[in-house]
């Protein structure tokens, strides 16, 4: 059986994946410098396609001897990601200003911080 620290991490990774699904619905590409001026259909395709190599790399590293390093990198990313969403709360194109979207984003940062602390105490 996986240990509780791994389950905590996988739960958080699942929150990230849910957020990315929500990001497609909320047209998150409109917040990115490179994609914001593209036609929506083209930006949508670029945004979603980029996730294929991203997910492949993440999953490959999670099942490798670099698992602990991957935990650290992703936890730090999840924390920064939550902080960036906080800074972009007032952006006019931000469509994550609802309880549903926020219920994925902000817990992800908090859980990542908790996971990091437990990793350090291990």
Decide if 87 contacts 110 (C-beta within 8 A). Answer: no
pLDDT value of position 79: 98
Residue 2: is its pLDDT beyond 80? no
Q: What pTM value is reported for the model?
A: 0.92
pLDDT score for 122: 84
Place of tokens 């059986």: 1
| Domains held by the chain: number | 1
The boundaries of the domain holding residue 98 are 4-121
pLDDT at 28: 95
Residue 1 has pLDDT above 60, yes or no: no
Please check whether residue 115 is in contact with residue 5, taking contact to mean a CB–CB distance below 8 angstroms: yes
């Amino acid at each position: 059986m996986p240990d509780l620290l791994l389950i905590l991490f996988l739960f958080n990774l699942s929150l990230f994946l849910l957020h990315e699904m929500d990001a497609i619905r909320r047209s998150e590409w409109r917040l990115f410098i490179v994609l914001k001026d593209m036609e929506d259909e083209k930006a949508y395709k670029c945004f979603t396609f980029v996730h294929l190599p991203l997910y492949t790399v993440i999953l490959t590293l999670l099942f490798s001897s670099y698992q602990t390093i991957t935990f650290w990198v992703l936890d730090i990313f999840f924390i920064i990601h939550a902080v960036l969403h906080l800074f972009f709360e007032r952006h006019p194109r931000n469509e994550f200003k609802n309880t549903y979207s926020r219920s994925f984003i902000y817990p992800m940062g908090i859980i990542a911080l908790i996971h990091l602390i437990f990793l350090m105490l291990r």
